[in-house]
């Protein structure tokens, strides 16, 4: 019986493997950096840098020498933010979109969940057709959808004058919910696809075991499917909250159909109109506060749903 003894100065097999592994990892790291570099550069240029510029702009204020003097931007600290928190129109628009979201988001996600469960049910035939039909409204750009629905709501332009002459969908009392109908019509299919994809990932063996125990399709949907796709529902809820606070395209289009939608109707409309004055510094402060508020609300909802799941 012989034993191999490594000669002094000669690397062992273990050391050689480690060196090769480290060399391979270094090569892989270079390849990874090469592939993620385009995304990282674009992400920094079009996401990180604009955020930093907005924060910088929000810290500036404009001063003039005399009434008609040349405007000069100087560092103003939190002066713009003080104006934001004193602006009643901004907080009124926040409350408006929050009331919008409290009603519209549950209805939209409820419809999306119902459609996804129907598509996943073995009782429904022609799933490919219905999947495409439910998703089709999302393929319509939001501006086009708002224009289309604006004509349908307009008493003088709508083909359904018998209804629009009796109910003023573009009046101050109903215009917010008319916009909610447009958003729901567009985004139900989008959220349905996310939830339906989560349903497809559930192993079929779970359903077979439930059917052997005598569970009906309704029981399977309520006790098995919905609990297992809770993360997907939470994801769609977070997306919907962010989209609600960023509501812009639909109200902007509806401004041409009704005077009930003003330039302060939603936070983003207020920011847009403020920047158009132009008062870029105040608009930047509005944007930063809105972003922080959106993050705080989304994070709160996420933590609440996680706690309920646990």
Q: What is the CATH number of the domain that holds 141?
A: 1.10.3720.10
Domain-located, residue 281: yes
Q: Are residues 124 and 42 in the same domain?
A: no
Predicted local confidence at residue 65, as pLDDT: 75
Q: Any residues with CB less than 8 A from the CB of 76 and at least 6 apart, and which?
A: 59, 60, 61, 281
Predicted local confidence at residue 20, as pLDDT: 59
Tokens representing residue 96 in the block: 């408006």
Q: Are residues 129 and 118 in the same domain?
A: yes
Domain-located, residue 262: yes
Helices (H), the chain: 13-43, 49-58, 79-85, 88-120, 127-135, 142-153, 161-164, 175-200, 204-212, 217-220, 226-228, 230-245, 249-254, 267-275, 280-309
Collect the ranges in the chain with pLDDT lower than 50: 1-2
Domain-located, residue 188: yes
- Enclosing H/E stretch for 167: none
Based on its alpha-carbon atoms, the radius of gyration of the chain, rounded to whole angstroms, reads: 28
Q: Are residues 110 and 233 in the same domain?
A: yes
Q: Are residues 269 and 180 in the same domain?
A: yes
Q: Which of 20, 55, 75 is the last residue of a domain?
A: 75
Domain-located, residue 13: no
Q: For strand 72-75 and strand 60-63, is the pairing parallel, antiparallel, or unpaired?
A: antiparallel
Q: Are residues 172 and 193 in the same domain?
A: yes
Domain-located, residue 286: yes
Q: Are residues 53 and 146 in the same domain?
A: no
Domain-located, residue 21: no
In degrees rounded to 5, what are phi and psi of residue 155?
A: -60, -35
Q: Which of 42, 58, 75 is the last residue of a domain?
A: 75
Q: Omega of the bond prior to 188 within 30 degrees of 0, cis?
A: no
> Could you list the residue range(s) of the whole structural domain that residue 221 is in?
78-307
Predicted local confidence at residue 1, as pLDDT: 46
Q: Are residues 92 and 112 in the same domain?
A: yes
Q: What is the C-alpha to C-alpha distance for residues 167 and 147, in angstroms, rounded to an integer? A: 19
Q: Is 301 helix (H, G, I), strand (E, B) or coil?
A: helix
Q: Are residues 247 and 161 in the same domain?
A: yes
Residue 282: how many other CB atoms lie within 10 Å: 25
Q: What is the C-alpha to C-alpha distance for residues 78 and 172, in angstroms, rounded to an integer? A: 35
Q: Which of 47, 75, 103 is the last residue of a domain?
A: 75
Q: Are residues 183 and 69 in the same domain?
A: no
Q: Are residues 64 and 137 in the same domain?
A: no
Q: Are residues 228 and 84 in the same domain?
A: yes
Residue 97: how many other CB atoms lie within 10 Å: 23
Q: Are residues 202 and 291 in the same domain?
A: yes
Q: What is the C-alpha to C-alpha distance for residues 147 and 305, in angstroms, rounded to an integer? A: 36
Domain-located, residue 214: yes
Q: What is the C-alpha to C-alpha distance for residues 184 and 112, in angstroms, rounded to an integer? A: 10
Domain-located, residue 301: yes
Q: Structural domain tally of the chain?
A: 2
Predicted local confidence at residue 73, as pLDDT: 82
């Amino acid at each position: 019986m012989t034993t191999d003894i490594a000669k002094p100065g000669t690397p062992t097999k273990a050391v050689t493997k480690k060196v090769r592994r480290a060399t391979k990892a270094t090569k892989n790291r270079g390849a990874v950096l090469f592939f993620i570099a385009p995304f990282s550069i674009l992400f920094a240029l079009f996401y990180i840098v604009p955020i930093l510029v907005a924060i910088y702009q929000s810290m500036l204020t404009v001063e003039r020498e005399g009434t008609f003097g040349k405007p000069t931007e100087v560092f103003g600290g939190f002066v713009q933010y003080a104006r934001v928190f004193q602006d009643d129109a901004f907080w009124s628009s926040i409350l408006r979109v929050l009331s919008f979201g409290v009603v519209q988001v549950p209805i939209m996600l409820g419809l999306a969940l119902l459609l996804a469960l129907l598509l996943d049910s073995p009782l429904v035939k022609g799933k490919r057709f219905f999947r495409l039909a439910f998703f089709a409204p999302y393929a319509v750009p939001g501006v086009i959808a708002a224009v289309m629905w604006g004509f349908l709501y307009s008493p003088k332009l709508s083909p359904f004058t018998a209804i629009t002459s009796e109910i003023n969908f573009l009046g101050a009392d109903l215009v917010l919910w008319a916009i909610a109908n447009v958003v729901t019509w567009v985004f139900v299919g989008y959220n349905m696809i996310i939830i339906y994809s989560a349903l497809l990932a559930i192993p079929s063996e779970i359903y077979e075991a439930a059917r052997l125990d005598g569970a009906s399709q309704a029981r399977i949907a309520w006790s098995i499917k919905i609990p297992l796709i809770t993360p997907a529902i939470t994801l769609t809820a977070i997306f919907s909250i962010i989209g609600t606070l960023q509501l812009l395209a639909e109200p902007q289009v509806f401004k041409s159909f009704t005077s009930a939608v003003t330039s302060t109707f939603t936070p983003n409309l207020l920011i847009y109109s403020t920047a158009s004055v132009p008062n870029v510094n105040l608009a930047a402060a509005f944007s930063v506060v809105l972003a922080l508020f959106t993050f705080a609300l989304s994070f709160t909802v996420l933590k609440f749903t996680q706690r309920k799941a646990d």
